Amino acid sequence: MADDKSALLTAGRRRARARTSSPGAPRSADGTAPLAVLAAVFTVAQFVLVRPALGLGWDEIVYVSQVASHHPAAFFSAPRARGVSLLVAPVASWSESTALLRVYLALLSGLGLYLALRAWRGLFPTRVLVTAGALFASLWVTLFYGPQAMPNQWVAIGALAAVGCFLRYHADRSARGALWGVAAGAVLMALMRPTDAVWVTIPLLVLALAGRHVRLLIALTAGLAAGAAEWVAEAYARYGGLGERLAEASRVQGGLGLQIAVDDQLRSLGGRGLCRPCTGTMPHPVVTLWWFALPLLAVLALVVAVRARRALRTALPLACAATAALPYLFMIGYAAPRFLQPAYALLAIPVADALWHLVRTPAGTWRPAVAPLVALALAGHLAVQLAVLTHTVDRNTDSRRDWARTAGELHRLGVRPPCLIAGHEAIPVAYYTGCSSGETGGNNENTTVAEILSTADRVPVAVLVGPGGTPPGYARAWPPHTIGDLQVRIAPTPGQGAPKGAATDGPE
């Protein structure tokens, strides 16, 4: 700890002397300009590679619809938190433009990455921070979800900022701004996903308790409490208590417990947004190679840090990355690559430090045999990430266009707002159609058969049946239509004389 503190103070004095002795020098001397350039490149890459025209995905629709005045709110299940809805509200509350929302989120994610990396100044050289930011920002999952209304990337940004600020204050108690940064990072994480925030901060809480760092402990707990306050209040208002909401969240996620999802995460690296159930073949080994290199580079980074007597600043982000990844690798029965974004962000800095150790000697000279190999490996890694990203964007663009086309056909068939859609992919199709969505069973259950039939007396109601499926009992007598590979049953309008439902025994 003393070594960490001494190094941080020495770095601060050197920067102060540099500014004092060279009043005319550019302000980029403090190392922030390279970070700003990196953030700008990350933002532009989102515009070019993901494209603002990409339609909203299923989960995005749930979050955005909570604050959109032009669409009914979709069912909000127990595991979700309102942070993303709050994040998009400045745009989504008044504009229907998905492109505008994408631009806003891309700019915001670039700014978030810049601020999170700034929290680590003085702890690692600027070259390490820029490399770490580039490693994280160039992952296909980071680029893909940067402009999307999803929580995991923001948990990653909050985690990176909180851990960096924690280390800064731990080394220098006069750095009051870092203390506020710890609290802000904790608030951001808890707003987005309260349970993830707890897992990320376990090592921070343990260290603060063990070292009796009262101010750090207060900043962490206050930040977590402030960020999770709405989620906890909603637990009592809608579910009857915090325990009941956690239990319902566990049910929705298939029951949390000892479950090995490492292979599921590997399968998802090929570009699958959600791997549930996670079946099929593994991606090509070249796609997953970087995943196996991460723990090796993390161990090397720790060895280097111990030898340099600066172990804490490397060990702490590694510990937080491990606890952040733990539930998604060993406690859940499915996978999504975005679940591990906080772990990837925290691993990026130690891994970047290890890479610089590989290519440069302690004296600062290049290792001629190793540096070209590392550069070649990084170039190959970047090529693979871009290839997976392109494939993922194209596939998601097609699926979201399908929802839009289905919505257009439903409009042609007379299903227009106000209206209700139930059945297969009801939530996204309803959003694109401008309707409410209803489910009588499953994780998104929010209505009953009686309520659907009653609604059909007032507004258009359609039930979507997926390929190979059968319509629910209450809709069997409704006139059928075909839209693509979907069968659509539309309730007769009042006064037509056709039966509303030959059976009312619920969905099959």
| Contact (CB, 8 A) for 15 and 101 | no
pLDDT of residue 363: 84
pLDDT of residue 42: 98
Cα separation of 259 and 34, whole Å?
42
pLDDT of residue 504: 37
pLDDT of residue 472: 95
**Of 363 and 451, which is predicted with more confidence?**
451
Tokens matching residue 383: 């090529």
Adjacent-strand bridge partners of 490: 462
pLDDT of residue 496: 54
Tokens matching residue 32: 């922030």
Residue-wise pLDDT for 377-412, tens only, equals 999 999 999 999 999 999 999 999 999 999 999 999
Tell whether the model's pLDDT for residue 8 goes beyond 90.
Answer: no
* Across 13-27, 253-267, 282-296, 454-468, least confident range: 13-27
Tell whether the model's pLDDT for residue 424 goes beyond 80.
Answer: yes
Cα separation of 444 and 453, whole Å?
18
Residue-wise pLDDT for 171-230, tens only, equals 999 998 999 999 999 999 999 999 999 999 999 999 999 999 999 999 999 999 999 999
pLDDT of residue 9: 47
Tell whether the model's pLDDT for residue 78 goes beyond 50.
Answer: yes
Q: Which of 102, 87, 164, 170 lies closest to 133, judged by CA?
A: 164
Tell whether the model's pLDDT for residue 498 goes beyond 50.
Answer: no
The residue to which tokens 């161990």 are assigned: 299
pLDDT of residue 364: 85
Query: How many Cβ atoms are within 10 Å of 149's Cβ, its own excluded?
Result: 25
pLDDT of residue 362: 86
Strand-strand pairing, 420-423 and 461-465: parallel
pLDDT confidence bin for 495, thresholds 50/70/90: low
Average pLDDT over residues 347-368: 94
Tell whether the model's pLDDT for residue 22 goes beyond 70.
Answer: no
Coil, helix or strand for 259? Answer: strand
- Where in the chain are the domains? 2-394, 403-490
**Which strands sit side by side in the sheet containing 436-438, from one edge to the other?**
436-438, 420-423, 461-465, 486-490, 480-483
Kind plus residue range of the DSSP H or E element containing 7: helix 2-21
Mean of the per-residue pLDDT values for the chain? 91
**Of 496 and 278, which is predicted with more confidence?**
278
Q: Which of 116, 120, 80 lies closest to 342, judged by CA?
A: 116
Question: Which H, E and C letters describe 77-130, residue by residue?
Answer: CCCCCCHHHHHHHHHHCCCCCHHHHHHHHHHHHHHHHHHHHHCCECCECHHHHH
Tokens matching residue 301: 């980074």
Residue-wise pLDDT for 120-166, tens only, equals 999 999 999 999 999 999 999 999 999 999 999 999 999 999 999 99
pTM of the entire structure? 0.91
| Cβ partners under 8 Å of residue 297, min gap 6 | 350, 351, 354, 355
pLDDT of residue 2: 46
